[in-house]
């Protein structure tokens, strides 16, 4: 069967979904292909814009500050590219900040209308607390994950509450790490305790996953037992705040948060966590819902296959599905297939490759990486603020976010790329993953829409 679209988006993570939603908002007939799982769903759900400058070790007070630094020092960073369209150099940094602000505020509004309120903006970074008890700077979080006045109020007391048989969160160690960190930074709270709840969701007492508890708590009746114990434990240590793993529900998280506050008298919030991450899944689902509601066509389990764009324009994409294949004719394509997790980029002993069009890849420092041995793009130190250049490799794009060729020319007139498939930034170190995906998805979409409108006009 054949389909027709104005815009085909390849990839259904944050970048692809933002691009897709924007395109439908602009009246484009949009088809989005998502092969499988995305890094977006694995994420903690906190939306980083920029937490540290590339190679930096000082947490940035605000994304704006970081964007200004990038504008002056890292022009080829995906955020830096946003400044290229304006010729006047004096306004580069302002342009970048405004573009990021537009995209991020748009996302906030969009998710609010799909019942997922977000907290924060690019004028300040928030301190988010993780299941390890560590603190990381991020830009926006789901309201249920905002720790409230915990780290501001001098008299606050935290209760870290885990669930027996849920191995992803150890409340005792988290409380200890968090308290040590706060004390050494002379910040509240001065006191933290922990408790392990005997929740046994659906009768299970071991091998429990966050997802299971979230489903359990999506049933209103199951909250009260939890609330009773939590209240007793909070009262025991005089807790003003209760830190929970992110399990408050898929559909009722916010209601549950408010109800817990009512029932315990303490402010309950969810910690940032690792996959399987309920907030990451909430984000993925929220975006997909918004896309479909807006009239977009979502083909899950379908992957795009293409030959390298021989002509200067991509007219057709093949969607390979479990049952059948579609040929989709289109006016523009947005490639948002992610990095190694998403599968947009792969690496073998023969080099770093882009998986759909076999586009040119580059290293973090923009050297051609098509035949680079992956190991050569790594550091000896496993975990450091420098990250591994391997995770900064990907596609090099022009200021319109069109992938470029060796000759420095766009690979195709109507092919755009967005999200973690792009080179030149290292999200694990910078803390910029979802932010770059949102902003580049937004901008690539705008350029694609302009192209299509130009074409149809």
Partner 1 sequence: MAKYDVVVIGGGSTGTAVARDCAMRGLKTLLLERDDIASATTGTCAGMISSGLKYMDEPDIVDMCSDEVVYFKRIARHIIEKNPILTPLLEMSDISSGGNFAEEYSKRAETRDVPPVLFLTPEDSLKIEPMLNPDLIASLYFEEYFIDPFALCMLQALDAKQHGADIKTYCEVTDILTKKGSITGVQYFNRITDKMESVKTKAIINAAGPWAHKIAALAGAKLELRLNKGAHVILDRRVVNVGVITKAIEGRMIYLFPHENTVLLGTTALDTWEDPDTLVASQDEIEYLLKSMEWVIPSIRDARIIRTMEGVRPLVPTWKIPEGDVTRGYEVIDHEPEGVSGLISFTGGKLVVCRHMAKAATDLVCKNLGVEAECKTHIEPLPGNSDDVDILALAKEYGVSQHTVERMRARRGSETATILELTRNHPEWKTTICTCEPVIEAELRYAIRETFPQTLNDLRRRVRLGTGPCQGTFCTFKAASILAEELELSGADFQLEIVDFLAERWKGKRQSIRGEQIAQEELAQGIYACVGNLDQALEELDYDLKPWEEVL
Picked from ligand FAD, partner 1, none, the partner binding residue 57 (CB below 5 to 8 A depending on kind) is partner 1
Does 31 engage in binding with ligand FAD (CB under 6 A)? Answer: no
**Residue 115: which of 245, 287, 298 has the closest Cα?**
287
Picked from partner 1, ligand FAD, none, the partner binding residue 261 (CB below 5 to 8 A depending on kind) is none
Q: Which is nearer to partner 1, 41 or 81 (CB)?
A: 41
Question: Contact with ligand FAD (CB under 6 A): which of 137, 296, 338, 389?
Answer: 338
Does 373 engage in binding with partner 1 (CB under 8 A)? Answer: yes
Question: Contact with ligand FAD (CB under 6 A): which of 21, 122, 278, 356?
Answer: 356
Contact 360, 393 (CB under 8 A): no
- Coil, strand or helix at 447: helix
Picked from ligand FAD, partner 1, none, the partner binding residue 14 (CB below 5 to 8 A depending on kind) is ligand FAD
Question: Contact with partner 1 (CB under 8 A): which of 98, 123, 155, 180?
Answer: 180
Tell me 4's DSSP state. E
Rounded to 5 degrees, what are φ and ψ at 188? Answer: -70, 160
Q: Which range in 52-60, 75-83, 118-126, 141-149 contacts partner 1 by CB under 8 A?
A: 52-60
Tell me 189's DSSP state. -
Residue environment code for 427-436, b if the CB has 16+ CB neighbours within 10 A, otherwise e: bebbbbbbbb
Does 44 engage in binding with ligand FAD (CB under 6 A)? Answer: yes
**Residue 395: which of 335, 436, 305 has the closest Cα?**
335
Q: Binders of partner 1 among 270-309, rule CB under 8 A?
A: 272-275
User: What distance in Å separates the CA atoms of residue 214 and residue 291, rounded to the nearest whole number?
Assistant: 24
Question: Contact with ligand FAD (CB under 6 A): which of 34, 77, 99, 451?
Answer: 34
Number of other residues whose CB lies within 10 A of the CB of residue 194: 20
H or E element: which one contains 304?
strand 303-305
Contact 319, 12 (CB under 8 A): no
Cα–Cα separations (whole angstroms), residue 22 to 32, 79, 171, 298, 317: 12, 19, 40, 14, 20
Minimum gap (Å) between residue 431 Cβ and partner 1: 6
User: What distance in Å separates the CA atoms of residue 75 and residue 261, rounded to the nearest whole number?
Assistant: 46
Does 324 engage in binding with partner 1 (CB under 8 A)? Answer: no
- Coil, strand or helix at 331: coil
How many residues sit in the footprint of partner 1 (CB under 8 A)?
Answer: 65
Question: Contact with partner 1 (CB under 8 A): which of 76, 79, 178, 269?
Answer: 178
How far from chain centre, in Å, is Cα 109? 16
Minimum gap (Å) between residue 259 Cβ and partner 1: 26
- Coil, strand or helix at 182: helix
Site string for ligand FAD, 112-151 (x = CB under 6 A): ----------------------------------------
Chain residue at closest Cβ approach to ligand FAD: 13
Two tokens, residue 370: 């098509």
Binding site for partner 1 (CB under 8 A): 39, 42-44, 46, 48, 52, 57, 59, 130-136, 164-165, 167-168, 170, 172-173, 176-181, 184, 205-208, 272-275, 339-341, 343, 346-349, 373-375, 378, 380-385, 387-388, 390-391, 427-429, 431, 433
């Amino acid at each position: 069967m054949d389909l027709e679209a104005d815009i085909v988006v390849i990839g259904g993570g944050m970048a692809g979904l933002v691009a897709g939603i924007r395109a439908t908002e602009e009246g484009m007939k949009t088809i989005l292909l998502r092969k499988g799982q995305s890094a977006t769903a694995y994420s903690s759900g906190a939306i980083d814009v920029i937490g540290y400058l590339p190679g930096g070790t000082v947490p940035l007070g605000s994304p704006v500050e970081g964007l200004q630094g990038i504008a002056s020092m890292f022009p080829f960073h995906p955020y830096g590219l946003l400044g290229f369209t304006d010729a006047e150099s004096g306004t580069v940094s302002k342009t970048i900040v405004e573009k990021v602000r537009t995209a991020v505020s748009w996302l906030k509004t969009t998710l609010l209308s799909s019942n997922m309120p977000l907290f924060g903006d690019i004028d300040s970074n928030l301190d988010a607390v993780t299941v390890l008890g560590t603190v990381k700077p991020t830009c926006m979080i789901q309201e249920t994950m905002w720790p409230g006045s915990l780290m501001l109020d001098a008299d606050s007391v935290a209760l870290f509450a885990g669930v027996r048989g849920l191995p992803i969160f150890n409340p005792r160690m988290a409380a200890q790490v968090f308290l040590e960190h706060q004390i050494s930074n002379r910040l509240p709270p001065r006191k933290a305790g922990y408790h392990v709840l005997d929740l046994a969701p659906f009768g299970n007492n071991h091998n429990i996953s966050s997802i299971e508890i979230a489903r359990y708590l999506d049933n209103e009746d199951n909250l009260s037992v939890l609330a009773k114990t939590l209240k007793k434990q909070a009262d025991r240590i005089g807790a003003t705040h209760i830190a929970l793993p992110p399990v408050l529900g898929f559909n009722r998280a916010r209601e549950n948060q408010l109800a817990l506050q009512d029932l315990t008298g303490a402010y309950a919030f969810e910690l940032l966590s690792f996959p399987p991450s309920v907030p990451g899944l909430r984000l993925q689902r929220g975006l997909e819902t918004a896309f479909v509601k807006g009239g977009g066509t979502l083909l899950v389990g379908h992957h795009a296959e293409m030959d390298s764009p021989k002509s200067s324009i991509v007219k057709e994409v093949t969607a390979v599905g479990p049952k059948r294949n579609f040929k989709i004719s289109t006016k523009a394509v947005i490639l948002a297939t992610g990095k190694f997790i998403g599968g947009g980029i792969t690496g073998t002993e023969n080099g770093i490759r882009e998986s759909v069009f076999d586009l040119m890849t580059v290293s973090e420092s923009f050297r051609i990486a098509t035949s680079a041995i992956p190991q050569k793009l790594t550091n000896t130190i496993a975990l450091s603020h420098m990250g591994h250049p391997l995770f900064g490799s990907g596609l090099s794009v022009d200021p319109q976010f069109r992938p470029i060729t060796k000759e420095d020319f766009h690979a195709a007139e109507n092919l755009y790329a967005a999200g973690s498939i792009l080179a030149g930034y290292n999200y694990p170190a910078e803390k910029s993953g979802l932010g770059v995906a949102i902003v580049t998805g937004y901008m690539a979409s705008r350029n694609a829409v302009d192209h299509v409108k130009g074409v149809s006009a």
